[in-house]
């Protein structure tokens, strides 16, 4: 029994040698995980700031300017996602998924918000992933496997996409309320329809999706309620316009109201 210290000194035993390998393997993995967490946090912050920037579109005349500025910000986020892709080159994405999922979801939220403002449609997962293709200078090491400039891609998972879109609905609700406040009469109805489509989409998926999705459904439903209430209020008060004023009001503040969309 007293000899144990000596046994353990047997540093060149096969067991010890094997565990030295394990040590390195585990440390490497852990370090990588940690680097990914940090990247993810950076992505979250920058995406959130992009969303704040995009909300300014309801109050400024030049929407395009903001969209461009937001795109520049998103480009820098994509660069960071590129770093993640680099980090995950040859790895199993799912092994490190928990480290990066918060950032990725926030990016989906930001990029889909940007897309909605520009195109008034829901960006597809393919469209998002199509912009996550990165050219990389080749490292001498893997020249064999990948000659010339190397193409690196990052594939957002459908679940992260879904979770990002769920959060998007909160931003759309905020945009809707702001629009009403800014006297914009058609955006609310447009948002109402779009949000209802997303809501119906989520209820079509129901509880077949992952648990995190179901958790966000309640908030989604609340947002939809707020938007529907806003549309309702616009309609109700619109019903009251005295006949003699109708022309005035229409010309002064609802010139671009699309009768097809807004009138039932």
Partner 1 sequence: MSVTEMFSYIQGFLSADQDIREDIRKVVQVLEQTAREILTLLQSVHQPTGFKDIPSKCLKARELFCTVRNHTGELKTKFPAEQYYRYHEHWRFVLQRLAFLAAFVVYLETESLVTREEVAKILAIEVDREKGFHLDVEDYLAGVLILASELSRLAVNSVTAGDYGRPLRISNFINELDSGFRLLNLKNDPLRKRYDGLKYDVKKIEEVVYDLSIRGLAKELETVGE
Tell me the closest approach of the beta carbon of residue 124 to partner 1, in angstroms: 5
Residues touching its own copies, count (CB under 8 A): 21
Could you tell me which stretch among 80-88, 148-156, 161-169, 242-250 binds Mn ion (CB under 5 A)?
161-169
Instruction: Pick from 14, 21, 60, 140 the residue near its own copies by CB under 8 A.
Output: 60
Q: Which residues of 58-96 are buried (b: 16+ CB within 10 A; e: fewer)?
A: beeeeeeebbeebeebbeebbebbbbbbebbeeeeeeeb
Residue 46 as a binder of Mn ion (CB under 5 A): the answer is no
**8-state DSSP, 258:** -
Distance separating alpha carbons of residues 217 and 207, to the nearest angstrom: 10
Which tokens sit at 1? 């029994």
User: Among residues 46, 160, 167, 184, which is the contact residue for Mn ion, using CB under 5 A?
Assistant: 167
Please report, as residue ranges, which positions from 167 to 226 form the binding site for partner 1 (by CB under 8 A). 174, 177-178, 180-183, 189, 192-194, 196-198, 200-209, 225
Transcribe 110-172 into DSSP letters: HHHHHHHHHHSSPPPHHHHHHT-EEEEPPPGGGTTTS-SSEEEE----HHHHHHHHHHHHHHH
- Footprint (CB under 8 A) of its own copies, residues 174-233: 182-183
Q: Mask: binding to partner 1, 96-125, rule CB under 8 A, as x and -?
A: -x-----------------------xx-xx
Residues lying near Mn ion in the complex (CB under 5 A) are found at: 167
């Amino acid at each position: 029994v007293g000899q144990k210290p000596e046994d353990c000194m047997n540093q060149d035993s096969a067991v010890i040698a094997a565990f030295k390998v394990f040590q390195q393997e585990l440390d490497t993995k852990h370090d990588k995980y940690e680097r990914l967490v940090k990247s993810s946090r950076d992505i979250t912050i920058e995406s959130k700031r992009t969303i704040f920037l995009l909300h300014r579109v309801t109050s400024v005349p030049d929407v395009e300017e903001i969209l461009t500025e937001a795109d520049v910000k998103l480009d820098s986020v994509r660069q960071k996602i590129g770093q993640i892709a680099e980090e995950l080159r040859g790895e199993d994405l799912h092994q490190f998924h928990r480290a990066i999922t918060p950032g990725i979801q926030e990016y989906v939220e930001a990029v889909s918000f940007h897309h909605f403002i520009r195109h008034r449609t829901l960006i597809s997962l393919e469209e998002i992933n199509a912009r996550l293709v990165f050219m990389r200078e080749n490292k001498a090491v893997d020249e064999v496997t990948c000659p010339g400039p190397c193409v690196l891609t990052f594939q957002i998972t459908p679940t992260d996409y879904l979770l990002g879109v769920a959060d998007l609905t909160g931003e759309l609700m905020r945009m809707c309320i702001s629009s009403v406040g800014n006297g914009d009469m058609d955006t609310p109805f447009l948002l109402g329809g779009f949000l209802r489509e997303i809501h119906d989409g989520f209820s079509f998926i129901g509880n077949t999706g992952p648990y995190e999705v179901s958790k966000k459904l309640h908030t989604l439903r609340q947002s939809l309620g707020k938007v529907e209430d806003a549309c309702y209020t616009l309609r109700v008060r619109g019903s009251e316009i005295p006949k003699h004023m109708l022309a005035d009001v229409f010309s002064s503040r609802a010139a671009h109201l699309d009768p097809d969309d807004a009138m039932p």
